[in-house]
């Protein structure tokens, strides 16, 4: 289904591939006039940001070839989430939480594809790695209830309060089962807190 969506986006000029970092930087500067071409190119080169979603319209720009494939998938997930990727997660919590959630579900979709290109998994090392690990850790610790809440917020325009509710439910269940373990026997001192 995701592959059909990708093909639809290519066919209807929603997903536009650029043939070089320079071309991608020019598209970024055109869509974001507050950035110069030089600033855009520097950012793309430094961060390996091989794709972006235009904020004024539902259009994705990604670098062509294998290196841009994961970036295109990541940006396609933004289109599935909210117009311009502006989810309640972004508006009510933070850009890092939203990008981590988007990256988590992008990797889930990619891992379910019949063939996953090595260039896709290679891109994981520079596509929001810390944000992804944060979301993955929350899901690993808290389970499916919290994963479902993240999905609802990201793709179904649910309010972020559902995440708090899901985490509270997990905390209550773990504390009732005696599965809560203290991290410190005594409160951390200043040296431990740094």
Predicted local distance difference test score (pLDDT) of residue 186: 53
Stated pTM of the model: 0.81
pLDDT at 109 over 50: yes
**How would you classify the pairing of strands 51-53 and 15-18?**
unpaired
Predicted local distance difference test score (pLDDT) of residue 182: 55
Among 133, 135, 114, smallest CA distance to 125 is for 133
Q: Where are the alpha helices (DSSP H) in 48-177?
A: 66-81, 88-92, 95-111, 118-122, 129-142, 144-156, 161-176
d(CA 51, CA 59): 11
pLDDT at 159 over 50: yes
pLDDT at 190 over 60: no
Model pLDDT for residues 21-71, shown as the tens digit of each residue: 999 999 999 988 899 999 999 988 888 888 888 877 778 899 987 778 899
Average pLDDT over residues 63-92: 86
Residue 73 structure tokens: 């998938």
Helix (H) and strand (E) counts in the chain = 11, 3
Altogether, the residues listed in the chain come to a count of 194
- What 3-state class would DSSP assign to 15? strand
Predicted local distance difference test score (pLDDT) of residue 101: 96
pLDDT at 185 over 60: no
pLDDT at 179 over 70: no
Instruction: Point out the least confidently predicted range of 5-9, 82-86, 107-111, 131-135.
Output: 82-86
Predicted local distance difference test score (pLDDT) of residue 192: 43
Predicted local distance difference test score (pLDDT) of residue 193: 40
Average pLDDT over the chain, rounded to whole?
85
Average pLDDT over residues 122-139: 92
Average pLDDT over residues 122-128: 88
Q: What are phi and psi of 84, to 5 degrees?
A: 65, 10
Predicted local distance difference test score (pLDDT) of residue 8: 86
| Of residues 49 and 134, more confidently modeled | 134
Predicted local distance difference test score (pLDDT) of residue 121: 87
d(CA 129, CA 135): 10
Cα of 81 vs its chain's centroid, Å:
10
| pLDDT > 70: percent of the chain | 90
d(CA 104, CA 108): 6
Cα of 85 vs its chain's centroid, Å:
10
d(CA 148, CA 45): 35
């Amino acid at each position: 289904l995701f592959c059909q969506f990708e093909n639809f986006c290519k066919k209807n000029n929603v997903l536009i591939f650029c043939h070089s970092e320079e071309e991608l930087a020019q598209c970024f500067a055109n869509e974001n006039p507050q950035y110069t071409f030089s600033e855009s190119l520097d950012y793309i080169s430094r961060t390996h940001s091989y794709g972006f979603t235009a904020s004024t319209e539902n259009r994705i720009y990604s670098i062509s070839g294998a290196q841009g494939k994961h970036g295109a998938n990541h940006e396609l997930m933004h289109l599935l989430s909210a117009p311009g990727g502006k989810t309640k997660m972004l508006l009510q919590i933070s850009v890092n939480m939203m990008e981590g959630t988007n990256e988590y579900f992008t990797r889930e979709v990619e891992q379910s594809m019949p063939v996953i290109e090595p260039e896709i998994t290679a891109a994981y090392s520079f596509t929001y790695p810390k944000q992804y690990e944060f979301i993955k850790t929350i899901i690993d610790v808290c389970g499916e209830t919290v994963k479902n809440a993240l999905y609802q917020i990201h793709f179904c325009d649910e309010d972020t309060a559902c995440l708090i509710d899901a985490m509270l439910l997990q905390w209550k269940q773990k504390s009732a089962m005696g599965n809560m373990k203290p991290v410190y026997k005594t409160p951390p001192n200043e040296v431990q807190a740094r």
